[in-house]
């Protein structure tokens, strides 16, 4: 694969273009990380040409190697590659802020009325369209990410491991190790990429030993800790949130936690804005702000640390082979998520038709996925709401 650094032959977008692109995605990117990744590939590889598919996949693999919300970190990596430090901050914030504002509004309604606004009809229609978006992106990315039979075999192994319950991080690590071992240049050396784990480990340990009263500071540090150590999907996040806020601190009931995760799932943008909802329940607007900053800050820091390192490590044959394996494994994990989501999304003739029409529109007519999602949401709201 190509070097992860941004090529000099293409004109870089302005900060305003970066901001506008990620504000749009943060506003309409329903469906969780796999869908976000698919929409970013369509936007920045297909439509805007900011990245080659190889560069996009390198950034995706890098985002999967560090803890935190992978799609948000992918956005931060893309912003950093286009405009350096300003782009890193602008891309990440613009992707997060629309969802955080929307989740805060839902939290305010929840605190006032004791329940969530009804969005069942919109979700019912949007979910099969999201499956089509993910499937199309997987097909396009796989052509670049899995160029050999060996990497295809690595992807199959990663799919099988994750499908049968192996931790996503472990599946990715095994993918990287298998690819490195399969490289003709492997000579038993330690893969340099292991150093990427040190900042996150130090950060997690530093946060874990802090013991302070239950205040905004404690709320911030709780989410900082979670953002520093959580890998995987919103379901993994749920386990950490339950341990911290239900079992340990007793700040939430089980029902409040499930409602918080549900809001994170059905609003656009990062699923980790579940933290925003919890923060508002615990401490109002200030709690929502500090919780959002706490859970996303590690992602910004880890991308800032690892961003300049990845292109240099790509020059190592061993690390390059390992990263190729992680890329293949990442797509395999996306495929598992796609399969799991499809079982809950395509449940009758209506959703099957929505899936088929969306897939045809994406492949045959190349319609922007954002318009398809908006159209599906409106249809669901008026027909099934």
> According to the 3-state scheme, what is the secondary structure of 165-188?
CCCHHHHHHHHHHHHHHHCCCCCC
SS3 51: coil
- Find where tokens 């629309």 sit: 98
HSE-up (13 A, CA, CB side) for residue 144: 18
Nearest to 197 by CA among 62, 57, 37: 62
Give residue 268's domain range: 217-302
Is residue 201 one of the residues assigned to a domain?
A: no
H or E stretch at 152: helix 149-163
User: Is 248 a domain residue?
Assistant: yes
pTM flag (> 0.75): no
Q: Is 364 helix (H, G, I), strand (E, B) or coil?
A: coil
Rounded-to-integer distance, Cα 23 and Cα 92, Å? 10
269 in a structural domain: yes
CB-hemisphere CA count at 13 Å for 131?
23
Helix (H) or strand (E) holding 41: none
Cα dist. 259→1, 252, 278 in Å?
42, 11, 10
Domain assignment present for residue 287? The answer is: yes
Q: Number of C-alpha atoms within 13 angstroms, CB side, residue 166?
A: 17
Tens digit of pLDDT at every position of the chain (385 positions): 444 444 445 678 999 999 999 999 999 887 677 789 889 999 999 889 999 998 898 888 888 777 788 889 999 999 999 999 999 999 999 999 999 999 999 889 888 876 666 666 776 888 788 788 878 878 887 887 888 999 999 999 999 998 888 877 788 889 989 998 987 444 444 433 334 333 333 333 334 434 445 689 999 999 998 898 775 555 457 667 887 888 888 898 887 887 786 677 668 888 899 899 999 999 999 999 999 999 999 999 999 988 777 777 777 888 888 878 887 887 888 788 788 778 878 889 999 999 999 999 988 888 877 788 788 888 888 887 5
CA distances from 165 to 121, 299, 307, 332 (A): 31, 25, 30, 13
Residue 275 in any domain: the answer is: yes
Phi-psi region of 267 (alpha: psi -120 to 50; beta: other; left: phi over 0): beta
CA–CA distance, 2 with 25 (Å, rounded to integer): 26
Alpha-carbon distance values, 348 to 35, 119, 130, 344 (Å): 21, 19, 16, 10
Q: Are the C-beta atoms of residues 75 and 25 closer than 8 Å to each other?
A: yes
DSSP state of 28: H
* Pair 64, 172: CB distance under 8 Å: yes
* DSSP type of residue 116: P
Query: What's the structural domain count of the chain?
Result: 1
Is residue 314 in a domain? Answer: no
Distance CA 125, CA 382 (A): 10
What region, left, alpha or beta, does residue 155 occupy, with left being phi > 0 and alpha being psi -120 to 50 degrees? alpha
Query: Does residue 375 belong to any structural domain of this protein?
Result: no
């Amino acid at each position: 694969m190509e070097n992860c650094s941004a090529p000099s032959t293409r004109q870089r977008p302005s900060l305003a273009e970066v901001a506008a692109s990620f504000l749009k995605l943060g506003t309409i990117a329903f469906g969780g990380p796999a869908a976000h990744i698919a929409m970013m590939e369509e936007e920045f590889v297909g439509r805007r040409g900011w990245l080659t598919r190889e560069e996009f996949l390198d950034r995706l693999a890098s985002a999967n190697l560090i803890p935190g919300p992978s799609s948000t970190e992918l956005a931060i990596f893309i912003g950093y590659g286009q405009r350096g430090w300003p782009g890193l901050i602008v891309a990440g914030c613009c992707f997060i802020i629309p969802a955080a504002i929307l989740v805060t509004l839902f939290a305010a309604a929840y605190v006032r009325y004791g329940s969530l606004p009804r969005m069942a009809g919109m979700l019912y229609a949007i979910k099969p369209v999201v499956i089509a978006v993910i499937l199309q992106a997987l097909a396009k990315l796989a052509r670049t990410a899995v160029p050999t039979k060996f990497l295809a075999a690595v992807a199959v192994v990663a799919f099988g491991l994750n499908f049968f319950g192996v931790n996503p991080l472990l599946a990715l690590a095994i993918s990287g190790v298998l690819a490195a071992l399969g490289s003709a240049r492997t000579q038993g050396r330690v893969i340099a990429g292991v150093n990427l784990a040190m900042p996150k480990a130090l950060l997690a340990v530093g946060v874990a030993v802090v013991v302070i009263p239950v205040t905004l500071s404690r709320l911030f540090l709780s989410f900082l800790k979670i953002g520093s150590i959580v890998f995987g999907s919103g379901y993994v996040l749920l386990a950490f949130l339950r341990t911290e806020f239900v079992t340990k601190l007793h700040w939430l009931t089980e029902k409040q936690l499930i409602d918080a995760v549900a809001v994170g799932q059905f609003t656009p943008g990062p699923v980790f804005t579940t933290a925003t909802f919890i923060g508002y329940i615990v401490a109002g607007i200030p709690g929502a702000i500090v919780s959002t900053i706490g859970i996303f800050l590690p992602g910004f820091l880890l991308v800032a640390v690892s961003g300049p390192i990845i292109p240099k490590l790509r020059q190592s044959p061993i690390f390059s082979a390992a990263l190729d394996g992680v890329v293949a494994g990442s797509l395999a994990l996306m495929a598992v998520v796609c399969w799991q989501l499809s079982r809950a999304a395509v449940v009758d003739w209506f959703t099957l038709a929505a899936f088929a029409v969306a897939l045809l529109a994406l492949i045959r007519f190349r319609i922007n996925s954002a318009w398809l999602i908006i159209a599906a949401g409106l249809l669901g709201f008026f027909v099934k709401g």
